[in-house]
Structure 1
Amino acid sequence: MHGTPLSGLSSRTATCLLGLAALLLATLSPAQAAAPRVTIFAAASLTDALDAAIADYEADHDVDIVPVYAASSTAARQIAHGAPAELYFSANEQWMDWLASQDVTLAERTDLLNNRLVLVAAPGTSLDAFTPGAGRPIRALLDDDQRLAVGNPDHVPAGIYARQALESLGEWQALEPRLARADNVRAALALVERGEAPLGIVYRTDARASDKVHQLGTFPADGHTPITYPLALVDPPASDAARAFRDWLTGREAMAVFERFGFSPAAAGTP
């Protein structure tokens, strides 16, 4: 007759071994060992800077930060439909306001970053530096069959700012039919990088992140509403890990990362 592996041991020894085994299993259990996870939904234009900030933060904290990048409009709609975001980092205040109006509770909202709008050209362009609004119109840089890449002005923040900028220059009506509308600003940038559109309107930070486009010039800041990036906790009470990461993002260490990628601190962004 075969016995169990513990059958030859005293009951006290067996109990001790079972307790030790249970402790060891608990210690090694992935569920027990896993770091807390924080999901942040963020504007596509934040991709490079936020990835770098997350890497710095995770190096000093036992936490797993999971970024989800999309147009701010897309991210806001996903959150409103129940996507499990603990933080929302938008490229404009409009979509943060919209999300707050959708019975989604936001907390500790702060305007964190500013950006600028620039005109970029495809690789190998022979165009010289060009300042929008300084005389020659943007449409003069396009051949009859060429298009201008932008984030979709109907909902993408970069496209909304682009429309405002073109309206202020008196070029919206002429250029609207010639827009190559992209789902987010990085998609608009990609159209120019691939040479599918000779020109594009993107953020300064996007132009700096790419070695495949040539920045021609910066749009006048007074031609559109300020490009502001608000940050907020979603559906609090937030986890301690989410709250700690939010607080770190508003501090000087994170701001140094964002500035390295071309962002500037918002007027009332950091404490």
Structure 2
Amino acid sequence: MPRRISRLAFASAVVLSSALPSVAEEVVVFAAASMKTALDEIAADFEATTGHDVTISYAGSGQLARQIIEGAPADIFISAAADWMDAVAKAGLLADGTRTDILGNSLVLVAHGTGAEPVEIGRDLDLAGHLGEGRLAMALVDAVPAGQYGKAALESLGLWSQVETRVAQSDNVRAALALVSMGEAPLGIVYATDAAADDAVTVIGTFPADSHPPITYPAAVLTNAADAADRAFFEALMSDKGDRTFAEQGFVILN
């Protein structure tokens, strides 16, 4: 009996080892913070399927782009705005032919808690009045795409002057979302996908698509990438399963 158990254990080990790579490779991804919920799920599935490791650094796209340009060892970059990908491309750090616009998003106004009354976002919105004594949570309006889109939308609608001095700026959009989620700010401007990931906020309005530049997420393999696993994960982002995961979180599939 002990010998039979030993043989079964050996057979099981052989089957397991044949299903995984002989040497696990690491894929290092720099991604916009707004992608966290969906990208974590895609990465976990990729790791379970391939045996490779995926390490993801989330932050504002501008911060990540600067880190890449300064030499940070990333294999894949996913930005929430074209201009930060342009900056990395200008530095000569994108692998030829890999840059692809993979996703789209929309911009929403969220309120703390559940059941908040909806508002019509337009030139007649009394945004300052809805804030009361509180502040408007936004990502950095001059450096982070979500903040830049938000500021552009408010300026387009003539609302920026109402709240310019009452904005609580955060390093990335998920941090801005957290301020509203925790009740530190009554309102915030985030992506629709961020709002969908947090049950402690309510979407009370969606900004008109023509009030800000189109929200696109370009992705690319970087010249630092050296492993087959890097390309495999990049392809997984645009696979049918990847598309479904992103769509479930509210992203618009562009690829």
Structure 1 unpaired stretches of 5+: 1-31
2:248 pairs with one of 229, 237, 260: 260
**Does the CA-based 8 Å contact 2:123-2:159 persist in structure 1?**
no
Aligned residue for 1:226, secondary structure, equals coil
Alpha-carbon separation, structure 1, partners of 2:94 and 2:110? 38
TM-score normalised by L of structure 2? 0.87
Q: Partner of 1:142 in structure 2? A: 131
Q: 1:60–1:40: structure 2 CA closer, same or farther, 3 Å change rule?
A: same
Which of 65, 68, 74 is the aligned partner of 1:79? 68
2:93 paired with 1:101: no
1:244 matched to which residue of 2? 232
Superposed structure 1 runs of 4+ greater than 4 Å apart: none
Taking the aligned partners of 1:259 and 1:188, their CA distance within structure 2 comes to 23
Question: Partner of 1:164: helix, strand, or coil?
Answer: helix
Q: Which amino acid aligns with 2:119?
A: F
1:53 deviation in Å? 0.8
Which of 112, 116, 121 is equivalent to 2:111?
121
Aligned pair count reads: 235
Structure 2 residue aligned with 1:131: 120
- From the CA coordinates, give the structure whose radius of gyration is larger: 1
Q: 2 CA distance for matches of 1:54 and 1:151? A: 25
Amino acid in the other structure paired with 1:137:
D
**Maintained 8 Å contact 2:177/2:194:** yes
**Matched position secondary structure for 2:27:** strand
Q: Does the residue aligned with 1:51 lie in a helix, a strand or coil?
A: helix
Relative to structure 1, the CA distance from residue 106 to residue 170 in structure 2 (aligned partners, 3 Å threshold; closer, same or farther) is: farther
> What is the CA RMSD across the aligned residues, in angstroms?
1.8
Structure 2, unmatched stretches of 5+, are: 1-20
| Equivalent-residue separation in structure 1 for 2:85 and 2:198 (angstroms) | 27
Which amino acid in structure 1 is aligned with residue 113 of structure 2? P
Partner of 1:169 in structure 2? 157
Question: Secondary structure of the equivalent of 2:99?
Answer: strand
Q: Which amino acid aligns with 1:254?
A: G
Kindly, what percent of the aligned residue pairs are identical? 47
Q: Is 1:62 aligned to residue 51 of structure 2?
A: yes
Tell me which of 168, 192, 203 is aligned to 1:215.
203
* SS of aligned partner of 1:69: strand
Q: In structure 2, how many angstroms separate the alpha carbons of the residues matched to 1:123 and 1:157?
A: 25
1:111 paired with 2:114, answer no
Q: CA deviation at 1:34?
A: 4.5
Q: Are 2:184 and 1:196 aligned? A: yes
Partner of 2:142, secondary structure, is coil
Q: CA deviation at 1:247?
A: 1.4
Cα separation, 2, equivalents of 1:77 and 1:217: 33
Looking at structure 1, the residues matched to 87 and 190 of structure 2 have their Cα atoms a distance apart, in angstroms, of: 23
Once the two structures are TM-superposed, the CA of residue 237 in structure 1 deviates from its matched residue by 5.9
- CA distance in 2 between partners of 1:92 and 1:42 (Å): 11
Q: 1:236: how far off?
A: 5.2
Q: Distance in 1 between matches of 2:131 and 2:224?
A: 49
